[in-house]
Amino acid sequence: MSGRLRNLYIGLIHYPVYDKRRRRICSAVTTVDLHDLARLCATYGLQGLFIVTPLQDQRALVERVKRHWTEGYGAVYNPHRRLALEHLRVASSLEDAAEDIRTFEGTPPLRMATDASQPAEGCIGYPQARRILATPGRPVFLLLGTAWGLTEEVFTVSDHLLEPIYGPTGYNHLSVRTAAAIILDRLARPDPEESSSAPA
């Protein structure tokens, strides 16, 4: 197992995303996502998790969940959950989140978008994504879409598009929670090809 994903931030994007009919919408925050993604951030050693939504009441909900588990009764009830939910931040837009990362890191993050349905052309694979993440002092902002996925305009302001998760079947309709788990595990582990390309 390789090192922590210290340069990595996750952005869980609720706007702009597509609905089922490919209309641009703002999706609702799903609290189970906050917990599952925060626990993944703690497991893989990420810097932070931005919940991105322009809706003020939705950001307030996220802040309330965070306070409960980091300062309120939840912090005493389950300290493991406190450690995880301390990763949680909110932002009203992708640009605002990127600006927060720039302020913290001193350099703007590379934006790496994800999409389940994007064709493989133009995507980067996991070996290249791991090399990017291994560059010191260069934060990476991994953008995860909710609902039916990130809109085209997010791809146009991204530096890279990470290849979709291909399982052994043609089916690739995972929840954002389980897709994030697989992406982070793949980013933290070397590929078979990488090892075999440097035989002992």
* Residue ranges in contact with a second copy by CB under 8 A: 1-5, 20, 32, 35-36, 39-40, 42-45, 78, 80-81, 83-84, 165-169, 171-175, 177-182, 185-186, 188-196, 198-200
Q: What phi and psi, each to the nearest 5 degrees, are found at residue 120? A: -65, -25
Task: State the minimum distance, in angstroms, from the CB of residue 178 to a second copy.
Answer: 4
Q: Give me 72's structure tokens.
A: 């309120």
Nearer to a second copy, 45 or 157 (CB): 45
Sequence-ordered list of residues with C-beta below 8 angstroms from that of 57, at least 6 positions apart, any chain: none
For residue 191 the two structure tokens come to: 């590929």
- Contact predicate 109/140, CB 8 Å: yes
Closest CB to a second copy among residues 56, 195: 195
Q: Which helix (H) or strand (E) holds 79?
A: helix 79-85
> Least distance (Å) from a second copy to the CB of residue 130?
12
Shortest distance in whole angstroms from residue 36 CB to a second copy: 5
Q: Answer positive or negative: Cα dihedral of 12, 15, 18, 19.
A: positive
Residue closer to a second copy (CB basis): 12 or 188: 188
Nearest-CA neighbor of 56 among 95, 99, 93?
93
Give the residue with the Cβ less far from a second copy, 103 or 173. 173
**In a 3-state reduction of DSSP, which class is residue 142?**
strand
Percent helix, strand and coil across the chain, each to the nearest 5: 40, 20, 40
Nearer to a second copy, 2 or 56 (CB): 2
